[in-house]
Amino acid sequence: MPLTLTPLQDIPLIRQGDNLADIVVNALQKNQITLENNDVFVIAQKIVSKAEGRAVNLAVVIPSQRANELARQIDKDARVVELILQESNEVLRTRPGTIIVEHKLGFVCANAGIDHSNVAELGDANEEWVLLLPTEPDRSAEKLRNEIKSITGKQIGILIIDSHGRAWRNGTVGIAIGLAGLPGLQDLRGQPDLFGFELRITQVGVADELAAAASLVMGQAAEGTPIVLVRGFPYQLREGSLKELIRPKEQDLFR
């Protein structure tokens, strides 16, 4: 089966408390798509965070002494720095405008994934809002999968993605930050290659590969297509989690 990625059109602006399962099912109807077993929904982190109330008004954030000191060093809003520190296990690197951290979820990212873009509608001219990552994206994905299954009766996968930079290359790409019902990592060790050579180290980050593909059709700016339906995912669906994709600290050569 060919792999197809279809961004769902007519997704409304998401507000705190919105039921994403109902929004997904309604979007399928509007787009005249019939859900099938083994389909996968790729969901932009931003709408999950909005639905779960992870928006923060900077007007109410009081920076700590550490946040103020770090903000002066890197020329960044001390209120944002305070949120970054609250969302992180450890600060790894800094440069003007950027803080590289180990997020509480375990992965390394810039500015704890805190985002200013596409959140302006949450406030008014006197307010400035930012959006934090979901508290437990795997749980968010599992909840959404179960709710969609209860409505449709179909076995599906859910992938929640965000845009991150990479240590070796310029530019951001979509990566998985939460998943349910599909593998994060596909272990090919022990399988033969085209010429019969047994693979010894090959493990494929299939959730990240799918995240990058879906991010390409979602867009990064004003496209308004935060949900992508994937059909023909070339690996068997199974239970999975973000932990599969996070390299242990002792194996991370960049630490």
- 46 or 199, greater pLDDT: 46
Sequence-distant (6+) residues with CB within 8 A of 28 are 8, 34, 35, 229
Residue whose pair of structure tokens reads 């006197």 in the numeric block: 126
Exposure string over 149-171, b if 16+ CB within 10 A, otherwise e: beebeeebbbbbbbbbbeeeeee
How is residue 196 annotated by DSSP? S
CA distance 212 to 176: 9
CB 140 within 8 A of CB 151: no
Q: Taking Cα atoms as reference points, which of 254, 39, 54 lies closest to residue 162?
A: 54
pLDDT number for residue 190 = 62
User: Per-residue pLDDT for 253 more than 90?
Assistant: no
What is the tens place of the pLDDT at every residue in 49-93? Answer: 999 999 999 999 999 999 999 999 999 999 999 999 999 999 999
Select, from the ranges 45-59, 189-203, 209-223, the one with the highest average predicted confidence (pLDDT): 45-59
- Distance CA(217)–CA(102), nearest Å, equals 28
Q: Which domains does the chain have, with CATH numbers?
A: 4-52+134-245 (3.30.1330.100), 55-131 (3.90.1660.10)
Write out the H or E segment, with its range, that includes residue 89: strand 88-95
Nearest to 242 by CA among 159, 144, 169: 159
Residue type, 28: L
Q: pLDDT value at position 14?
A: 94
> Which H or E run includes 187?
strand 186-187
